[in-house]
Amino acid sequence: MPPTTFPFKSYRKGQLEAIDEARAAFAGGKRFVVVEAPTGSGKSAIAVTLAREAVSSYVLTAQKILQDQYFRDFPDLALMKGRANYDCLVAPTHAAAAPCIAGRRFTQCDDCPYFTAKDVASAASNTVLNYAYYLAELNYSGGFAPRELLVLDEAHNAEAALMGFVQVSVSDAALTRVGLTDRIPHVQERLGYFDFIEELLPRMLGRSREVELELRQGKSESDVELAALQTKQWLDNQGSRLRLLLDSLDDELVDWTVERRQEDGGHSLTFKPVRVASFAEPLLFGFCERVLMLSATILDPNTYLASLGIEPDDAAVVRVASDFPAENRPIVVRPAAKLTRHHLDRDLPRLVAAVAQVLDDHAEEKGVIHAHSYRISRHLAANLPRHQRSRLVTHDNAAGRDTALHAHVRSSEPTVLLTPSMTEGIDLADELSRWQIICKIPYPYLGDPQISARRDLDPAWYDWRTCLTVVQAYGRSVRSRDDFAVTYLLDADFPSFLRRQRARLPEWFLEAVRPPE
């Protein structure tokens, strides 16, 4: 029988071995344990078992929907999200815009859903948070203490979460809104923008003190007072991030890209770190003694550990094989169109024809098309045969993503989810997807200066991120041992890509690949 810390009556293949290896690695002095296990292997049960065995833990997920899944499956974990997810009992708004943040308290505030949840979560031994809330709360807000174990679910997202937390933007419109007259300069040398930030920061702090004084003297309960507090919060938050930016300039391992853009109301500056390895310990790992990291797509342990500043000697890597039959999840390589920037216009009609063939072959089955870009997605939606377009469920931007997903899931018809941005974090088990298409090799976008600089610095990272996206997309449709679906790879460059990346791709992925047609 499994121990009481294991949440189910029996183990899936590889679970017990992974838990035992992780325990042994921690007992042997490793601070970091990385568990690579394919989709459907039960990573969450491994995470919960080791979290329960620790004195205390934080369990982090990349998405709020995954938090809900943890809480639903393991209700002994406390659940905590950001303020905007909790209703205010005083005003028709959420806790992020409630009167209490302006210092106003009412009788109803004693039962505030946000602070009630926070009290429970901070007192609990095991709490599930999302990356964004954990980073903001532990580094800036307070209320949560250090714990023994940090569990990173979907740990391949940790670097991106840090990247999003550390990057910082300043705009003319935002400065105007908070009462500052400074404007984004245009300089010849990139370092001039850092000089601008160094001059701006004291004025931001001074403005914050002015607003604080105004709030102390205020006596109204008006929206003006709430706006003043939001101004102060923005100034303090951005000030902390800009101070982190300036302090890092002396670190030879940290470099920044700077993007100056024209937008409504003036110009903006966005600073992005090329690498976040130097930030991982103080901002992410430093609040816990040990770290358990789980993902289906570690792929290249050395590249992964380096991206987070982890020394290989401090970490143990545990790998779990897939017990999903390869015949249930075939990968059909069908080179149809060359979709690099120089060939895209010429070959998009060939892609349309190849996608149309797959749609005809699966006329009575739901499926998903991973388009990789909105340009490809829109072209397919506009140019597939009319009788096939009626099956498509798609979205034009990130805001429409969830609506499209829910429409596909709820429909009883053989709908096709056409999307450029659902390669991970969605579950299309069983009849929700009996086939899927990966149109294009999903290379990270080199038009982003941060991505371009990172590739130049570390080409292995660029290949790793590409493989990661391919394997994550592959895992959307076959979610259990008895599930089945076929995946089609249509990019003409996929055969050479698979050969080049053979050492990086998991064996359980490669065993499902059929030779190119």
Q: Both tokens of residue 185?
A: 């300069």
Q: Which of 12-26, 105-119, 251-265, 304-318 shows the lowest mean pLDDT across its residues?
A: 105-119
Q: What is the pTM of this model?
A: 0.91
- E-assigned strand segments in 76-176: 78-79, 126-130, 147-152, 168-171
| Helix, coil or strand: residue 222 | coil
Whether 2 shows a pLDDT value over 80: the answer reads no
Residue 220 pLDDT level (bands cut at 50, 70, 90):
very low
State the amino acid at position 370 in one-letter form: H
Closest CA to 275 of 429, 110, 75, 460: 460
| Helix, coil or strand: residue 306 | helix
Query: Which pLDDT belongs to residue 458?
Result: 92
Query: Which pLDDT belongs to residue 365?
Result: 98
- E-assigned strand segments in 135-249: 147-152, 168-171
473 and 509 in contact (C-beta within 8 Å)?
A: no
Q: Give the β-pairing of 256-263 and 266-273.
A: antiparallel
Query: Which pLDDT belongs to residue 233?
Result: 86
Closest CA to 367 of 392, 347, 343: 392
Query: Which pLDDT belongs to residue 7?
Result: 93
Please give the average per-residue pLDDT across 86-106, as a whole number: 77
Q: Report the alpha-carbon distance of residue 209 to residue 481 in Å, rounded.
A: 60
Please give the average per-residue pLDDT across 48-67, as a whole number: 94
Report the chain's C-alpha Rg in angstroms: 25
User: What integer best gives the mean pLDDT of the chain?
Assistant: 93
Query: Which pLDDT belongs to residue 297?
Result: 94
Torsion over CA: 134, 138, 143, 149 (sign): positive
Whether 103 shows a pLDDT value over 70: the answer reads no
Helix 449-457 vs helix 459-474: crossing angle, to nearest 10: 110
pLDDT in tens, 158-167: 999 999 999 9
79 and 128 in contact (C-beta within 8 Å)?
A: yes
Give residue for tokens 């063939």: 357
DSSP string, 464-504: HHHHHHHHHHHTTT--STT---EEEEEETTHHHHHHHTTTT
